[in-house]
Structures are given as C-alpha cells and as structure tokens.
Amino acid sequence: MTTLLKSATIIDASSPYHKQTKDILITDGIITKIDNSIQPKENYQVVELDNLHVSTGWFDTSVSFGEPGYEERETLKHGVQVAAKSGFTDVAINPNTYPIVDNKSAVEFLINKVNGAATSIHPIGALTQQSKGVEMSEMYDMQQSGAIAFGDYNKPVSNDNLLKIALLYAQNFDGLVLSFPKNNLIAGEGVANEGKNSTLLGLKGIPALAEEIQIARDLFLLEYTGGKLHIPTISTAKSVQLIKDAKEKGLDVTCSVAVHNLFLTDDELHDFDANKKVNPPLRTENDRKALIQGLKEGVIDIITSDHNPIDIEHKKVEYSTAKDGTIGLESAFGALNTVLDIETIVKCLSDNPRKRFGVDSVIIEENEKATLSIFNPNGEYTFSEENIISTSKNSVFLDKKLDGKVYGIYNNSQLILNL
C-alpha cells in the first residue's frame, strides 16, 4: 500500500524538513519520498486535509484500559482504536488490571492481544506483587517479555527500603522505576486539593505537602542508590522546584504531568462533578502556571493524558465516594494546544517519552519508518460527549473549549483517520 500525504506541514525539530510544507510518500510503512509536489498514481491512497500537519508519533506514557478484568470500562482492542484516532502511535499500558500485571505471562497477554494494531502498546509492569507494596515483582522477567518500566499505578511505595532495593536491583538490566508521588498518611482521606476551595466546599483536603515530601524522599533514595527514576504526574509548584534541584545535582530523574493539571484548577470543583475527581487532584492557578513553566524550561520532561476510564457506577455517585480518574486521550491535543506551543507539545509527547522509556526514536526523513501523528492545530470547539470515542465517558474536559483537531495516525503500515 502506498499513501501520499499532500501539503503536510512537518513538525520535527530533528528533521531537515522541520516547519516546511511538503508532500510525503509512504510505501509499505517507509517514507520513500519527501518533496514539494508528488504526483499521485492510480493506486495511491491520497490524504488531502485542511491545514494538514504531521509530527513524529505521540507516545502516551500513562494509559489505563480495563482489560483484563474491567472490560466494561475499556477493552484493549477498542482502546488502541481510541488512541489511534486521538493521534497516539504508542501508549504505555498501566498494570492496574485484574489480575495486576506483575509477571511475564500478564505482560505477554497484553502484547499478544493487540499485536499488529496501528497503535503499539508497551506494558508497564507492577513494581510490587499485586501492587500491594510489600514484595518486589518479577521485574527482570517482565522486562525480558516486553515491559518498559515498573510502577504501581497511582499507588505510592510507602516502604522506603523496598524502593531503595528496587532502584538498586533495576540497575542490573537498566530498568526504569516509577514512584507515584503521594504520602498516604499525610493525604489521609482527602479528595481535593487542600486550600480555599476545599474549605469552602467542605471537602477533605490533600495537602501539596503529601506530594512534595514523597518526592523529596524518592530523590534522597535515588541519590543514595543511583539508577533511573521516573516520577509520574506531578502537580505542585514545589514539586517542580525539587526535581529541578535534583537534575542540577546530576540525578537521573525525569517526571511527567497530566494534561488536566496543565489546563484546569480546583476552581472547577464547585459543581461537585465527580468527573473532576482525579489523582493527584486539580491544584491551584499558581501550581498550574508553575507546571507550564516547568515544561518550557525542560524540568518536566513528559506530558501524559493519564487516561483512566471509570464505569458510570463508580463515577455517577457522590463526589467523595467516586473513583479517581478521567479519560484523556481524545482531549489531550486540543487541551494542550490552548496552553503550549506545538514544538513543546511534540517534544513532550514524542521525543522525550521515547527516549526515557526506551521506545524507538523516530524522525521524519526519507528511508525512515513512518510513525506519524496527523493533525490540524487550528479550530476552536467545545468538547462534548460526541467527541468521546472511549467506552467510558468520564471526561474532566466536557464543555471545555479546546483548540485543534486530530486527524489520526500513520503507524505500523496503517493509516487510521478520525474524520
């Protein structure tokens, strides 16, 4: 199959065609020609779309699908279709299934279930057995089967010594350890950011300190052990500063931020909408601005949708008892495009996550594999349930004004468009 992308503006800082508008010819998954104008032949699949832009394929490093165990939330097969139509060529799958992904068989099940799909999946193995935080999982075996990192999704490692041993052990095979930044004893039964809004609304608060003290501990351990540490979904201004200081010390640490923490604050909670109950919680405007600045300065390396589908039975309930989580794949680009420039978005959705998680880097150049996200950065719209492709509909972005349209992807010799 030969595919021709007409008049595509290329966004790839590593490519000699960066910011140039070109025709791109793809044959059997390989970019065979990039030129000002390429004449289509009869058998070509021609893509001509308004204000067409392409970048290296976006990679979301924190995606939850329900299967196995919670198929009513999302199946793997449908989930990768959602990811493809949302512009993601690669997704890292969290281990929060039933059973937990804490052994090589579970990793292999995920990979084999959607082998050959347009969007490639990369399992994250649980750091501890059944994500209980008591005993370390079979990390080496899981990596040999295809796991790209190890962490207990949205569960902190409360045992200091366990994290220390994990960081030491993972160095034997260059493994990446994830540590969720939350001290449960300080967070307590909190359900929202501790501050003015939680007080006004009568909601139990989660202090910023609960995140920051955990990050400080993790960084002390990393300084002692060495190794590679990734801190997912930070949410406070002080967290940005702590990681900035650690990087200046030369520690091998990276971090990510969820799209909703860049776009929304705890001012959103006045309607008690359980779709806005996320972990970590929506923070203050000061935190939001600090996170954006952290991205621009390169302190925060990666942006994730932190896509987490939750069934209606666990969301359409009282705010305090609802499960944490929001879907985010479909809204990720439109939300980011309102607060960041395109080059920063591509760097933090593609280049940086590929490098950190050991997934093949890509470049838009002739004779290279075509791994492309396809989009239009223009066009404001109000995000509604009609824009949701996911099985679950628990989006924090409902009724929000977003900017830009994702057309789809080209990856694994497949063109997937969302038109």
Active site residues: 306
Quickly tell me which residue has 């990734």 as its tokens: 230
Decide if 399 contacts 383 (C-beta within 8 A): yes
Cα 10 from Cα 54, distance rounded (Å): 5
Between CA 47 and CA 417 the distance in angstroms is 10
The answer for residues whose C-beta is within 8 angstroms of residue 52's C-beta and 6 or more apart is: 5, 6, 7, 8, 9, 374, 376, 407
